[in-house]
Structure 1
Amino acid sequence: MIEIAVTGVTGHLGGAVARRLCAAGHPLRLIARSPSRAPALPRSTVAAASYGDHDAVARALRGTEVALMVSAAESADRLDEHRTFIDAAVTAGVRHLVYISFFGAAADAEFTLARDHHATEEHLRTSGLTWTALRDNLYADFLLTLAGPDGVIRGPAADGRVSAVARADVADCAAAVLRSPAGHAHRTYHLTGPEAVGLADVAALLTAHTGRPVGYHAESLAEARASRAHYAAPAWQLDAWISTYTAIASGALAPVTADVPLLSGHPATPIRALLPTP
């Protein structure tokens, strides 16, 4: 089996993909900024690299033909880091790069960070690499953590809905593509859950499951900015947080696709199956 390079291995998604590939018998090149935090997996080696360090990434990827690029941590420089990583993959001789993008990535996307994903995809398309883009929707796992200490989910999502996807389903899809990349060359997949839910639905699910009241308050834009002001976040980050909700309100994140079952071989996981143990 070919050696597959996997980034983001110290995080939830990259680590889950690496474990799935390991279980399937693939030798792995695990790439991490902090190698000591990489999972200890059989048939794997660990290489140190940060996305913004072209030479380190090129060294880390050299000798591998297929790589998973989990999008970098949110930052003002993330797009530059993505472009540097892609350029380094070309230098290293990587042939096929699988990129974790975002649902509805576009230059004018309501969710501001989806614009960076679009720009990354455009750079990847013109790089000369064979590519696959996995555009995952918001994580259903994340929606279940949105209630504050007072038991209220707050955000300017109005009565919009989102076809949130389970993180484990994204890992299954990514591992399937990496195991047989040739069949997914120059393809874009849109990864969603099996249904679109509103934040009021999420609150009701949590209430019924835990027995503790959880509510949803559809903030105005002014309320959203005021309620997050104490974080003293930079403008780009505050805009990203708020546009997560306005993207739901706009309907942009509501469409449901069949790409999870197409790639993973199993039905997409409903959000109710992810509810925590009371």
Structure 2
Amino acid sequence: MATVFGITGASGLLGGRVAERLAAAGAEQRLLVRSPAHAPDLPGAQIAMIEGYDHPATLRAALSGVDTLFLVSGREAPNRVAQHASAIDGAVAAGVSRIVYVSFVGAAPDATFTFARDHWATEQHILETGLRSTFLRDNLYDAMLPALVGDDGLIRGPAGDGRVGCVAHDDVADAAAAVLLDARPDIDTDQVYDLTGPEAISLAEAAAQMSRASGRSIAYAPETIDEAYASRASFGAPQFEVDGWVTSYTSIAAGELEVVSSAVQRLTGHHAQTFAAWLAANPASWERLLGLP
């Protein structure tokens, strides 16, 4: 019998890309979404509505008959680990035999980036199930860097001179599809993979590359940690979220995101994109973020 894949986040930037690649390969899949109207229309794909990761009953029903679950991490929330655990338990109850989880580079209980600690806890819960598992530890996405630019053209944050091996959604989706389909029989996919771009760049270098691509003046303005918290106080966000924002920069300063891996090439057979190449190939993904018409 053919493997049936369950794809979470199928209406999002990563899950949708993975679903497209599985459809192109002729795979049987079930797209788990909150709103069926937003699910991609793909050949061979069933649509299953779920209420959320913290509703295991609907997950069990949606995952009935699914062999492999592609689990995209949920939105940042104070109880995100509990939500992930609920989803994992629902998968176990439904008879899923394998989980491919989208984690984060440097996931650890003492990671500087507070949300990376959530990913580590989720990985541990998956390991405790005894299911086959693969952890795709993505670095920051290329698409996130333009989102850091303020209206004044500045990236403000306490990243110091640290560097980040940012990665493209398309490269992660290619790698994820290869893992799900066991497309490289010479590679054991039940592993932990750091998915990164081919180089680590500083935020100052990223700003310079965005300036060249857009024609707009963009620069990096370092902040102290106290300045970072003060400059974000006006957003009225909950403390856990502000902590995540600030520590995404301090993790760069600490060198924890200066990770460059060959995993994308090993899994897919092609080189990962540089940030400059991503900018050139995806103007629609960043022009609006940089205030361009």
What's the TM-score once normalised by structure 2's chain length?
0.92
CA distance in 1, matches of 2:44, 2:272: 30
Is the CA contact 2:199–2:260 (under 8 Å) kept in the aligned structure 1?
yes
CA distance in 1, matches of 2:44, 2:110: 43
CA-to-aligned-CA distance 1:142-175 (integer Å, 9 cap, x gap): 1133211111111110110011111111111111
CA distance in 2, matches of 1:20, 1:58: 25
Aligned AA (1:36): A
Of residues 255, 266, 272, the one that matches 1:268 is 272
2:67 paired residue number: 65
Of residues 218, 222, 230, the one that matches 1:214 is 218
2:44 paired residue number: 43
2:111 maps to 1:109? yes
Of residues 195, 201, 213, the one that matches 2:199 is 195
1:83-162 to structure 2, matched below 5 A, reads 83-162=85-164
Counterpart of 1:108 in 2: which secondary structure? coil
CA distance in 2, matches of 1:59, 1:184: 30
2:20 paired residue number: 19
2:4 paired residue number: 3
Change (3 A) 1:185 1:88: farther
Change (3 A) 1:185 1:127: farther
CA-to-aligned-CA distance 1:22-53 (integer Å, 9 cap, x gap): 01111210001122211111111111111111
Is the CA contact 1:130–1:185 (under 8 Å) kept in the aligned structure 2?
no
How many equivalent pairs are there? 278
1:163-182 to structure 2, matched below 5 A, reads 163-180=165-182
Greater shift in the superposed pair: 40-49 or 237-246 = 40-49
Is the CA contact 1:177–1:184 (under 8 Å) kept in the aligned structure 2?
no
CA distance in 2, matches of 1:201, 1:180: 36
CA distance in 2, matches of 1:239, 1:68: 28
Aligned AA (1:255): V
What's the TM-score once normalised by structure 1's chain length?
0.97
1:34 paired residue number: 35
Aligned-pair RMSD on alpha carbons? 1.3
Q: How far off is 1:185 after superposition? A: 5.1
Q: Which stretches in structure 2 are left out of the alignment for 5+ residues?
A: 288-293
Counterpart of 1:58 in 2: which secondary structure? helix
Counterpart of 2:179 in 1: which secondary structure? helix
Is the CA contact 2:179–2:189 (under 8 Å) kept in the aligned structure 1?
no
CA distance in 1, matches of 2:131, 2:88: 9
Q: How far off is 1:186 after superposition? A: 3.4
2:235 maps to 1:231? yes
CA distance in 2, matches of 1:156, 1:177: 35
CA-to-aligned-CA distance 1:115-155 (integer Å, 9 cap, x gap): 01000000000112111100000001211332111111111
CA-to-aligned-CA distance 1:215-238 (integer Å, 9 cap, x gap): 110111111111111111111100
Greater shift in the superposed pair: 268-277 or 211-220 = 268-277
Is the CA contact 1:32–1:47 (under 8 Å) kept in the aligned structure 2?
yes
Counterpart of 1:228 in 2: which secondary structure? helix
CA-to-aligned-CA distance 1:164-197 (integer Å, 9 cap, x gap): 1111111111111111188645311011100000
CA-to-aligned-CA distance 1:194-216 (integer Å, 9 cap, x gap): 00000000111111222221111
Is the CA contact 1:191–1:259 (under 8 Å) kept in the aligned structure 2?
yes
Is the CA contact 1:5–1:29 (under 8 Å) kept in the aligned structure 2?
yes
CA distance in 1, matches of 2:165, 2:30: 33
